[in-house]
Amino acid sequence: MTLSGILQSLDQDAVALYGYARDAAAQSATSIQAIRPESSTLLGFARGIGLQAAVLIMVAGLCWRLAGILLLRRRPQHALSRASWLGRVGGGAAMIFTRSFPRRTFLPRIGVSVGLSTVFHVGFFAILLGGAPHILIIHQLTGLIWPDLPKGVVVMISGLTLAAMLALLARRIAHPVMRLLSTPDDYLSWLAVFLPVLTGILLSGETIASYESLLALHILSVELMMIWLPFGKLMHGVLVFASRGAMGFNFARKGAAT
Amino acid sequence: MTAEETLGDMLARRGFSRRSLLKFAIAMTSSLALPPSAAPAMAANLAKSKRRSVIWLSFQECTGCLETLLRSASPTIESLMFDFISLDYQESLMAAAGAAAERTLREVVAANKGEYLLAIDGSIPAKDGGVYSLTGGRSNLDMLSEIAADAKAVLAIGTCAAYGGIPKAYPNPTGAVGVEDLVSNKPIVNIPGCPPVPEVLSGVLVHFVSFGTLPELDDRKRPLAYFGTTIHDQCYRRPFYDQGKFAKSFDDEGARQGWCLFELGCKGPITHNACGSLKWNGGTSFPIESGHGCLGCSEPDFWDKGGFYTSLAGGSEVGWRNAGVAAAIGVAGGAAAALSARSKVKADKAEPGIEP
Amino acid sequence: MTALAAFGEDGLVDALLMQIAGLLGRLAEHDEEGSIDLRGLPLSASCIADLEKRLGRGEVTAVIEAAGRSTIHETSFPGVWWISHADESGRMIANLIEVALVPMILRADPADIILSQRRLPGCTHVAAHARARAA
Amino acid sequence: MNAEAKPPQPPARAPDVAEVATAMRGFVSDFGPTAALALESCVHCGRCAEACQFYVQTGEAKYTPIHKIEPFKQAYEREVSPFAFAYRWFGLAPKVTGPELQSWQEMVYDSCNMCGRCSLICPMGIDIADLVEQARHGMFEAGLAPADYLGALAEKEHLTGSPFGLTITKFQDMLHAIGIEHGVVMHVDEARADIVPTVSSIDLKTYPASMAAIAKILNHMGASWTFRTDGFDADNVSLTAGDRQGQRTTTMGIVNAAIACGATTLLMPECGHSFTEMRWEAANEMGHALPFSVLQITEFLAEAITDGRIRVNKAQQKATYHDACQVSRRGGATAAPRVILKALGVDLHELEDAGDANWCCGGGGGVALINRAAPLRAKAFEIKQRQVEATGMETVFTSCSGCRQTLEHGGKATQWSTTVASLLELVADNLAS
């Protein structure tokens, strides 16, 4: 049974599985605006109800977590600030970017971690924002559109990103500090990002299995990432702006180095 | 023409040499993607075989499928096929009508019990007992089950007969379904397409008449020889797809250069059919070659898979109203969590005077 | 010039030539005939033209008028025949390389031979006179 | 000084459940969005370890800065985080146990100077130093502040307002004695004065000359100034021990003293944490802005030298300078010492990573007052020793008595020839007549 055979049968098993899920979802989702019925394939589910559910869960989770943090009582700061209010806001905004480039003195010790994570993050967003199909999705949602990278380039970048992720995982397992700090959330979040990139590469190759199965798997893995995002470590994608901004703002008050 | 006369004798009587029969067999083996060595065997079988009786029932259909199969302005090799079968019942083509037509149908069924082929075009409305499509006062639902019972095999011609097609599109008022949803104890061949590619029917009939079996089918009961690959895989514009050269509108520079139509909603990557290789109107062209994206008409529920001009990459659009509801739920939950946290934090101020 | 044709153009033609050589070998040793359906292979027009140039032309050319025109020519390699069939509207419906003593389609069919045997006596002078007397 | 408050007893055993609960509430008590953001944002990348002198020198993973607040993060997740209910229902963040909290004493106190170098490297912008300070609040309320020395001093400060139990009269006598010994006019407890220099007990005990130096400088300037023995001990050992109430009492004492004599400027002595406490936290504890400006001594000297109120001679010597973390990196006064040294004509050879990214001396944040932390301090000192020797300088100036004492102790242990000197005293010794 070749892999493509398995994926083919996966498509059929999923049809049955999907049938039950769809009926259950249909009954329970009465309040949500009637969603047009999708065809009975895995791809239909992935691009239909699956996508809808993933987006709704992500949006709800994001709002919940952000509200839960930002609505805590703010500690008033009365000490005389070294910077004006505008200076503090500027400090906050600046740090959002400068903290991505560690000070030269730290590089000898964290160069590997910085290098690998930069390759991964730049690669991941280059795929997301450079891949033609991705731009189309964003275009359909927001109307924005910009030139895309050739498919070959995106595939090559995906390879690099995948390699960086595997190296980072190896480091997280091997390095004593990383092993001490790591929780199941780290590994689940890693997987939730690894699968979309992996299925993306397989999809671009279009050889392992039929286009539909690969596209369905790719979209499902993205949906897994979207659903996990607000509840685990992936939230740092949003919190990084708030957290760095807050430190930049507060340190600018003290004129302290950031 | 007597029932016992073989095809070979019939052809000879009408001046068709065995060479033209062999030539026909060579053409069909090539179209069916069979090895060339199969041609002599096919020609021999065809010569020995009897003419197969075919009953064609039209249900909730637009006659587009029938027209495309018989339209051949110039007689093509495939049209020979209609000399090999005896189309005993077809409401649009036969002279008889009304009660006479019904009598003919009963006679044909009786005469060829268990041996005739049942070809169907159009979907079958199953809602409310099938009352939405009647022929001579009888619902298509009943006619199908009755006549399919004695058929040797069933050919569902066109996406409507195969998967329900356009009548089944949302909201599907008549409860239209495909043949495969109603008939289960008979070998079924789906020949989807709106309309289907004519050569496919000839290929299937020839295969059946000459080898007595249906050609190899895929998981959707479609002949693998014609539906094994996607339009995307056969498409001559594929290199542009790989280089990321996409037409952004139907009359921009990209479109004129014949670039890939992926961004204009082409459904080629998820559509299985033979348009890309056999092409239409005698090999003239096929939708993509004429500059329009493939609609995916041979796939189930092609009408509900998002707009014809929405690219494959786009998921079905997220309802902004739903997103608003989700956001509100999220904020409410977060606020509740924050308030309970604040109450806990305030409670710790046991020591008087320490500001929060 | 599609991307497919850009690379390996000559690779395809060479592979075909070697396959034809293999068929010739089987014909010579085991008297086995074989043929290659060119339409089943992803060949571009220039690829087929190149193949035709390589195979060259032999001494025999034949035309068959049966349900459309079919043309056959022997290549410069005896035993290797190039056959292309078209239907009445002139559309090509098959394009084959056949490796055989004589292409299958050229041979008269046994059933036709029996019919000929039955028909032939009819065109003798004796039969003609008999018909004239009977009329 | 409210003597009747219950003094924290150093426990012989692990805290019981009640004490752990108070500890956690202590940690959670001053929780705002910034602290919550910090605890929610950690991506477990491990880079903070690479900036911390204790991990870098020992290679032990347990000294990873963010790991030092792990139990408190668990408490946050259970009690205050947006998904607290889920953490509790699914048992994702178990309750912190007594023994576990006790074992964390080493992480929250012995191996953390709260120097903020980890906050400088954290890619997510988490102020880990601030979190450790808040964690100490929890530890203290669970009676887990280290008993030896730091705990004892904090207890005494809590009772008497001075970590060494100095009474006001004793303090006054010492000031006058220093005045006489150094031949300097000492203004003590005068009713009205513009400038109030505060005193740290380390200076009082080990570097009395610095009090004489500040007096000499202020007289040189002809400023109206006075020491206030009712506003004593800028050191605020309670802060580093995590005793929020003691910290607040000490701070209010100084603030009230300054208000009493109508001061316009409060000078913090050569000390790191006292500056942080008075400059950035005092106003919050008052609930409104302070009615006077607070300057670290180097800031004051730099300003006065620049605008000519202090005239100095050229000191004609080569030296290097060690930055106090709370003054430079955390306090934003990195430039002031350079201004002073330049004015004094000192040929300054900066240390590697000088200024904002400097390595901590290893004694700050109360660690110098924990005896069992000596081996850790020695490890941290090795970096500083290497850096100073790399400059080839004979003298290293600093403007924090804590650093000065730590570097001297470190130097004594390794027969270090370099002399550690105070910038304040250098200025006092080079005043133009």
CA-derived radius of gyration, chain C? 21
> What local confidence, expressed as pLDDT, does residue B75 receive?
55
**Residue D423, H or E segment:** helix D423-429
B344 touches chain A (CB under 8 A): no
Q: D156 CB contacts (<8 Å, ≥6 apart)?
A: D162, D163, D164, D165
CB-based contact B344 D80, cutoff 8 Å: yes
For residue B210, being part of any structural domain is answered with yes
Residue C67 pLDDT level (bands cut at 50, 70, 90) = confident
How far B85 CA lies from chain C's nearest CA (Å)?
18
CB-based contact B319 A33, cutoff 8 Å: yes
Q: Is the pLDDT of residue A92 over 50?
A: yes
* Minimal-distance CA residue of chain D relative to B353: D285
CB-based contact D36 A69, cutoff 8 Å: yes
Q: For chain B, which residues score pLDDT lower than 70?
A: 1-3, 71-81, 313-318, 346-356
CB-based contact A211 B269, cutoff 8 Å: yes
Which CATH code for domain D17-144? 1.10.1060
CB-based contact C89 B40, cutoff 8 Å: no
Q: Is the pLDDT of residue C14 over 60?
A: yes
For residue B27, being part of any structural domain is answered with yes
Give, to the nearest 10 degrees, the angle between helix D168-182 and helix D208-221: 70
Q: How many helices (H) and strands (E) does chain A have?
A: 11, 0
- Closest by Cα among D279, B270, B148, C72 to A133: B270
> What local confidence, expressed as pLDDT, does residue B171 receive?
87
> What local confidence, expressed as pLDDT, does residue D425 receive?
93
- The fold adopted by the segment(s) A42-254 is Fumarate Reductase Cytochrome B subunit (1.20.950)
Residues of A in contact with D41 (CB under 8 A): 236, 239-240, 242-243
Domain count, chain B: 3
CB-based contact B354 D245, cutoff 8 Å: yes
Q: Is the pLDDT of residue C8 over 80?
A: no
* Minimal-distance CA residue of chain D relative to B343: D80
Domain harbouring B212, CATH code? 3.40.50.700
C23 vs C98: CA distance, rounded Å: 9
Q: Is the pLDDT of residue C1 over 90?
A: no
C64 vs D407: CA distance, rounded Å: 108
Who among B334, B344, B355 is closest to D28 (CB)?
B344
B244 vs B205: CA distance, rounded Å: 41
Tell me yes or no: is domain D309-429 CATH 3.40.50: yes
Who among D34, D121, D283 is closest to A246 (CB)?
D34
Contact of chains A and C by CB distance (3 or more pairs under 8 angstroms): no
Q: C6 CB contacts (<8 Å, ≥6 apart)?
A: none
Peptide bond into B195 cis (omega under 30): yes
> What local confidence, expressed as pLDDT, does residue C2 receive?
47
How far B77 CA lies from chain C's nearest CA (Å)?
6
Q: Which domain holds residue B286?
A: 229-317
Domain ranges of chain D: 17-144, 166-304, 309-429
Report pLDDT digits (tens) over D330-389: 999 999 999 999 999 999 999 999 999 999 999 999 898 888 899 999 999 999 999 999
How far B123 CA lies from chain C's nearest CA (Å)?
33
CB-based contact C94 B26, cutoff 8 Å: yes
Q: Where are the alpha helices (DSSP H) in D30-167?
A: 33-41, 53-58, 70-79, 84-89, 98-103, 105, 117-121, 128-141, 152-160
CB-based contact A60 B333, cutoff 8 Å: yes
A141 vs B319: CA distance, rounded Å: 10
Domain ranges of chain A: 3-34, 42-254
Identity of residue C40: G
Give, to the nearest 10 degrees, the angle between helix D70-79 and helix D33-41: 110
Tell me yes or no: is domain C3-106 CATH 3.30.1370.140: yes
> What local confidence, expressed as pLDDT, does residue B46 receive?
84
Q: What's the rounded mean pLDDT across residues A225-243? A: 96
Bridge-based pairing of strands D293-296 and D265-268 is parallel
| B17, B142: one domain | yes
Q: What's the rounded mean pLDDT across residues C62-89? A: 91
Q: B302 CB contacts (<8 Å, ≥6 apart)?
A: B159, B194, B267, B271, B295, B296
| B23, B94: one domain | yes
How far D198 CA lies from chain B's nearest CA (Å)?
24
Beta-bridge mates of residue A184: none
> What local confidence, expressed as pLDDT, does residue D219 receive?
93
> What local confidence, expressed as pLDDT, does residue B314 receive?
57
For residue B244, being part of any structural domain is answered with yes
> What local confidence, expressed as pLDDT, does residue A29 receive?
38
For residue B322, being part of any structural domain is answered with no
Residues of A in contact with B355 (CB under 8 A): 76
* Sign of the torsion angle spanned by Cα atoms B29, B30, B35, B37: positive
- Closest by Cα among B47, D393, D307, D201 to C111: B47
> What local confidence, expressed as pLDDT, does residue A108 receive?
94
Residue in D37, D63, D126, D134 to test binding to A, most A beta-carbons within 10 Å: D37
Who among B36, B238, B283 is closest to C91 (CB)?
B283
Contact (Cβ atoms closer than 8 angstroms) between residue A243 and residue D41: yes
D314 vs D345: CA distance, rounded Å: 5
A159 touches chain D (CB under 8 A): no
| B64, B196: one domain | yes
- A168-207 residues touching D, CB cutoff 8 A: 172, 175-183, 186
Contact of chains A and D by CB distance (3 or more pairs under 8 angstroms): yes
Among candidate residues B227, B257, B286, the one where a domain is terminated: B227
Residues of B in contact with C64 (CB under 8 A): 19, 23
**Residue C99, H or E segment:** strand C92-99
Alpha carbon of residue B343 to chain centroid = 64
Domain ranges of chain C: 3-106
Report pLDDT digits (tens) over A22-64: 554 444 433 233 333 445 578 778 877 888 899 999 999 999 9
Q: Which chains touch C (3 or more CB pairs under 8 A)?
A: B
Q: Is the pLDDT of residue A6 over 80?
A: no
> What local confidence, expressed as pLDDT, does residue D57 receive?
94
Task: Classify the complex by whether its ipTM is higher than 0.95, answering yes or no.
Answer: no
Who among B26, B238, B282 is closest to C85 (CB)?
B26
> What local confidence, expressed as pLDDT, does residue A3 receive?
54
* DSSP secondary structure letter of residue D399: S
- Please identify which residue in the block is written with the tokens 């670039």: B259
Q: What's the rounded mean pLDDT across residues A213-222? A: 92
Contact (Cβ atoms closer than 8 angstroms) between residue A214 and residue A65: no
Residues of C in contact with B33 (CB under 8 A): 40
CB-based contact D244 B354, cutoff 8 Å: yes
- Closest by Cα among B309, B157, B311, B126 to B226: B157
Residues of C in contact with B38 (CB under 8 A): none
**Residue C48, H or E segment:** helix C45-55
C86 touches chain B (CB under 8 A): no
- Please identify which residue in the block is written with the tokens 């910290």: D247
D5 vs D172: CA distance, rounded Å: 26
Residues of A in contact with D56 (CB under 8 A): 109
Integer CA distances (angstroms), A79 to A257, B349, D261, D294, in order: 18, 22, 21, 10
CB-based contact B355 A36, cutoff 8 Å: no
**Per-residue pLDDT of chain D in tens (433 residues, 90 and over written 9):** 334 444 444 445 677 777 787 777 777 777 788 899 999 999 999 999 999 999 999 999 999 999 999 998 988 898 889 999 999 898 888 888 888 888 899 999 999 999 999 999 999 999 999 999 989 988 888 888 888 777 778 778 777 777 877 788 888 898 999 999 999 999 999 999 999 999 888 888 889 999 999 999 999 999 999 999 887 788 888 888 888 888 888 899 899 999 999 999 999 999 889 999 999 989 988 888 999 999 999 999 999 999 999 999 998 889 999 999 999 999 999 999 999 999 999 999 999 999 999 999 999 998 988 888 999 999 999 999 999 999 999 999 999 999 999 999 998 888 888 999 999 999 999 998 7
D402 vs C28: CA distance, rounded Å: 102
